Structure 1
Amino acid sequence: MKSGCLVAAALVMLTACGSSSPPPQEAPQPAPVAKAKPIDESRRFPLADQVSIQLVNDKLLNKDFLPGGNVAEYRRKGKSWEQFLLRSGNAEAAALLLFDFKNHLRDAKYLPHMGGYFGTDGAKPVYIFQKGAFLAGFAGLPEKEADPLARQFAARLN
């Protein structure tokens, strides 16, 4: 009788355990991270010769690797150019963006006095530099004309 009870108890336990497992639950999907809108830094741009300025939410200068920022258009003596500025989270992030941009420039030349680069993007000359959390630059001016403007602009980024 004892052995019969033990066998019955063992059968009950085996059937109670069951071999079917609950259906696998899907891992919760993280909510899509909303990109932070860029900070409007238009106050940092010089007003002389400025034609327009805009805040671009994403892909500054139509570059997939750049977040949003400000772009101003300037005209003087028949020449037109763009001046741009974006503020990243920190200086390291800005330095990485500078390096990414440098890799997209043809014949990129290092500018040790500014810690930036000058090269061509398509047919357009581009002068870029980093200062702290900022990435700034000029598109459409030769190096000799962009350099003094870049020095003045860098002074505004304190």
Structure 2
Amino acid sequence: MANFDVSNAKFNREIRKMEVTDPCHADTFNNVFKTLINNDVALNSQYEDCVKKIGNIKDLKTTNKDNLVSALNEVFTSADNGKKSIYNSIVGKKVTPKSKDFKDLTDAITDIKLGQGTAQPSQVLKGATFTNDTGVVQEGNIPVIPFKQISPS
């Protein structure tokens, strides 16, 4: 028994319909079977190509893996929530971005003042904190000397 050659399978939309008047010869049936088998191979090949190009939906890191639109909506919602969080953090630093677009958020971040002033640790009492133009919170190092009550003699 011979096999069908499917090495160059192409999809064919036309499949011959068997007629009651067709002879019951193997060639009549084999041509129909060959078309069906080639279609199956071609469709499977196209499916595998699609999976390679777009990836397998089950590999998504989203919660919803059964529907691509829902998965993308989940990604959009996550990004939108992140942008809102960044926006609120920037506003907490007394700068208001023009919008929640990434460009406006990054522009606003550059407007945040790191710190102001020229004080140095040697000019601030120990235990007190401050920032200067470095923006880093620092602690003073001038020792705190307890006061003494002096009574007149």
TM-score past 0.5 threshold: no
Structure richer in helix, relative to its length: 2
TM-score (norm 2): 0.24
Structure of higher RCO (CA pairs closer than 8 Å, 6+ residues apart) = 1
Structure richer in strand, relative to its length: 1
Report the structure number with the largest CA radius of gyration.
Answer: 2
TM-score (norm 1): 0.23
